[in-house]
Amino acid sequence: MIKADGKVFFLNTKSTTYAFRVMETGQLEHMYYGRLINCDEPSVLKEKRAFAPGNTITYDDAHQDLTLEDVRLELSAIGKGDLREPMLEVICADGSTSLDFVYDSYEVISGKPEFKTLPSSYDESGKVETLNVTMKDKNHGFTLILSYSVFEECDVITRSAKFINTSDESVRLTRMLSMLMDYDHPGMKITSFHGGWTREMNKSDIVLPAGKFVNASFTGTSSNRCNPLFMISEPDSCEESGDVWGFNLLYSGNHYSATEVSSFKKTRVVYGINPQNFAWDLAAGEEFEAPEAVLTYSAAGFRQMSLNMHDFVREHITRGPWKKKERPVLINSWEASYFDFTEGSLLKLAKTAKNAGAELFVMDDGWFGDRNDDHRALGDWDIVNKKKLPGGLEGLSKKVNDLGLMFGLWVEPEMINVDSELYRKHPDWAIDIPNMDHSEGRFQRLLDLCNPEVVDYMIDRMSEVFSTPGLSYIKWDMNRNFSDYYSKYLPADKQLEVSHRYVLGFYRLLKTLAERFPEILMEGCASGGNRFDLGVLCYYPQIWASDNTDAVSRLAIQDGYSYGYPQSTYTAHVSACPNHQTLRVTPLESRFAVASFGVLGYELNLNDMKSEDIAAVKAQIELYKQYRKTLQFGDFYRHRADNIYQWSIVDKDKSTSVSMLMQREIVAGDQYLKLEMAGLDPQTKYHFFGRKLEYNVKGFGDLVNTVSPIHIKQDSLVHNLVAKFVKMPGEIEDYVAYGNTLNSNGVKLVQSFVGTGFNEEVRYFPDFGARLYFVEKADD
């Protein structure tokens, strides 16, 4: 709900209040963002001042008490005494850079308007309101519209800004961020997520008592180096308690957030497009939209902040037929064969996968042109490799469909190899600088999506591919970063617009295809998580979280994503061991347990597996399908992230819960574990049970001789024969308890093996061991 009178603005969600006012001088003073409050006027919220501090700039002669450097603001620019990070910077026609935006008017509208040039959140509930506050620059007559949309049910407020050149002369924007907000104290904790290829979303905490912390990308994408998601909290905030503010951005290009503590102990946050290597020229009458920023507040720690973000993404970001539809279990050909495949080998893999319960077969890279390695053929999407696929895409698709499987394809529409037919025809379509050596990534270059002709061409080529009969899924990849920013389509004075114009072209390409082919399930990818953001999630509902499929590595990766993205948005695959990225060996059950807490898939050569492992995969897929709705769309809870990782997911109706427990390393003599739980209905009686497993006797080494009537030499033929027919029984966990007991106490599990004995009351829990546990409403 929005309460506004032109002087004071209160934006209320079900649990939070955001408040600001118009100062006597026309600036917007930020007053409050936190727990829901009852407040009709701002006297207790606004700061009082009588004299400006020494060595500061006063705003004007009539207000000698006011220095903008010591005010909590909603908007700030260069030139009027605020020495902190600005929200926007310009170069005016006369060369000046000072701006003085003051309040002009406001409007409150029902609903959530769409952006003209960028993806944006949306609403179908009819419960969202939007506040537009118009600011006017006193010196040049520019207009700035600050927009605030209030999503009451998920405790989210989004902010954005639009610059309109209402002057008679041109202006150059050199910084145009989406939002600015000030806190009234220092020493806050900043939580952000960093990494690189195969090591995305590593959580990082820093307390900022002074100075500035910047989280920014310059890869041309939202980046695996630093995701746009970040949080600000009180230093003692934890998973279940404390004040936490969450921020995210609907943008897939270079992003920028800065948190700065001023000399007056106020903390400022600015957020939006990275101003590095950016400028945008506006002629009279033209406008520029900044991306939409997402804000949420939780008084109950990081857990509730994440639940708010998850609900917002599910209800107001992802869209289309796959928004709430259960995602199929897939088998992807990449790590099974890389570029070395034939139609026969693919169909053999598909048939085995079908028998194991898979629902979707995906042919990855290598199906077009002479693409037998990663040096050539990108761009040649109209040339199917007939040596590998004599019946073309349609022939393979029909044969896969005839097996009872959906058919999917890998594409990388934004890229081009120099060794390709497309490059030979259109070298001017590549992003590189004429007469200069180009720095490549993965032997490829970017197509110039600043050029409308290139975008139109790729829309046509991808439409042809997407129209393949029987095609149900697309994996959209993007395997390099930007290096030499240059568009041969643009004049020299527009080259600082390249990064943003590329993103706009990408969005047009993606939006057009998503609207033409709404029934196709599209999955994003950029060498894994190099473009994992809310912007692309407006067009495809899931993204490949990381090229790293190692179960241990995926713990931190998926845990990191869970802070801002629901598990239905990140995909996870069971792969071979030793793992192709780490060479680590982990149990098949552990790989499944971790992957099942994303959108599950498999990426390995099933035909090389032992029959008992194929049977295990079949059982895994059957189990996943049984709990798929809960696992993909339930509420996600983090419990532990140390040597033991624990997650749980609770169905929205609180009837069912699934928990995952994984151990990195055995701690000798550590017998006891407690499984924590959350989100269950306090008054409902539940049945708790663990997945019953059996274990290979070889896992106990020559300890088998403590129970064997004959001596068995470790790793001998006899040992292998015994292991084939004799399995060690797993522990039994089976209890009944009320939700309030499980939420408050959790479940104390049977003891771990510590070297003193083993039976069905002992948990075999080696390095990298994992368990799945289930909670269902008990029969009365």
Taking the mean position of all CA atoms in its chain, how far away is CA 630? Answer: 20
Q: Do 365 and 301 reside in the same domain of the chain? A: no
pLDDT digits (tens, 9 = 90+) for 129-169: 999 999 999 999 999 999 999 999 999 999 999 999 999 99
**Is the per-residue pLDDT at 780 higher than 80?**
no
**Is the per-residue pLDDT at 679 higher than 80?**
yes
Q: Of 287, 84, 73, which is closest to residue 176 (Cα–Cα)?
A: 287
271 vs 251: CA distance, rounded Å: 11
- Cα-based angle 441, 446, 448 (whole degrees, multiple of 5): 160
More confident residue, 728 or 197: 197
CB-based contacts of 671, cutoff 8 Å, min separation 6: 751, 752, 754
- C-alpha dist (Å) from residue 687 to 112, 376, 662, 773: 43, 56, 22, 11
Q: Do 457 and 442 reside in the same domain of the chain? A: yes
pLDDT band at 620 (very low <50, low <70, confident <90, very high): very high
> Which 8-state DSSP code applies to residue 529?
B
Q: Which range has the worst mean pLDDT, 44-48, 358-362, 470-474, 485-489?
A: 44-48
Look at residue 771 and tell me if it is in a domain: yes
Q: Do 331 and 310 reside in the same domain of the chain? A: no
Question: Can you give the pLDDT at residue 674?
Answer: 96
Q: Do 414 and 478 reside in the same domain of the chain? A: yes
DSSP string for residues in 422-446: HHHH-GGGB---TTS----BTTBEE
pLDDT band at 103 (very low <50, low <70, confident <90, very high): very high
Look at residue 682 and tell me if it is in a domain: yes
Q: Are 35 and 155 in contact (CB under 8 A)?
A: no
Q: Are 268 and 220 in contact (CB under 8 A)?
A: no
**Is the per-residue pLDDT at 63 higher than 90?**
yes
Look at residue 626 and tell me if it is in a domain: no
Question: Can you give the pLDDT at residue 52?
Answer: 92
| 547 among known catalytic residues | yes
- C-alpha dist (Å) from residue 643 to 593, 646, 664, 768: 16, 10, 5, 10
**Owning domain of residue 87:** 2-316
The residue among 316, 341, 371 that closes a domain is 316
| pTM (2 d.p.) | 0.97
The whole-number average pLDDT for the span 633-656 is: 98
Token couple for 550: 């190692």
**Is the per-residue pLDDT at 700 higher than 90?**
no
Q: What is the CATH number of the domain that holds 513?
A: 3.20.20.70
Q: What is the mean pLDDT of the chain?
A: 97
Q: Beta strand pairing status for 330-332 and 727-729?
A: unpaired
The residue among 290, 316, 342 that closes a domain is 316
Q: Which amino acid is at 438?
A: H
Look at residue 219 and tell me if it is in a domain: yes
Q: Do 306 and 327 reside in the same domain of the chain? A: no
| 382 among known catalytic residues | no
Look at residue 235 and tell me if it is in a domain: yes
Residues in the chain: 780
766 vs 755: CA distance, rounded Å: 12
* Percent of the chain clearing pLDDT 90 (strictly above): 93
Q: Do 289 and 335 reside in the same domain of the chain? A: no
Q: How would you label 311-334 residue by residue, b for 16+ Cβ within 10 Å and e otherwise?
A: bbbbbbbbbbebeeeebbbbbbbb
Q: What is the CATH number of the domain that holds 38?
A: 2.70.98.60
Q: Do 236 and 360 reside in the same domain of the chain? A: no
Q: Of 375, 605, 327, 362, which is closest to residue 479 (Cα–Cα)?
A: 375
Question: Can you give the pLDDT at residue 704?
Answer: 87
Q: Which amino acid is at 110?
A: S
The residue among 506, 524, 542 that closes a domain is 524
Look at residue 364 and tell me if it is in a domain: yes
**Is the per-residue pLDDT at 69 higher than 80?**
yes
Peptide bond into 413 cis (omega under 30): no
The torsion region of residue 220 among left (phi > 0), alpha (psi -120 to 50) and beta comes to left
Q: Do 283 and 329 reside in the same domain of the chain? A: no
Q: Do 691 and 663 reside in the same domain of the chain? A: yes
Residue with tokens 């290009």: 253
Look at residue 288 and tell me if it is in a domain: yes
**Is the per-residue pLDDT at 209 higher than 80?**
yes
Q: How would you label 521-537 residue by residue, b for 16+ Cβ within 10 Å and e otherwise?
A: bbbbbbbbbbbbbbbbb
Q: Are 468 and 393 in contact (CB under 8 A)?
A: yes
Question: Can you give the pLDDT at residue 41?
Answer: 78
> Count of domains in the chain?
3
646 vs 636: CA distance, rounded Å: 11
Q: Which amino acid is at 232?
A: I
Q: Do 198 and 332 reside in the same domain of the chain? A: no
Look at residue 727 and tell me if it is in a domain: yes
541 vs 524: CA distance, rounded Å: 8
Q: Do 766 and 729 reside in the same domain of the chain? A: yes
Q: Do 382 and 262 reside in the same domain of the chain? A: no
Question: Can you give the pLDDT at residue 569?
Answer: 99
Q: Which residue among the candidates 155, 547, 559, 651 is catalytic per the annotation?
A: 547
Token couple for 430: 């590549």
pLDDT digits (tens, 9 = 90+) for 332-346: 999 999 999 999 999
Token couple for 574: 């069971």
Question: Can you give the pLDDT at residue 77?
Answer: 98
Q: Which residue among the candidates 380, 477, 559, 651 is catalytic per the annotation?
A: 477
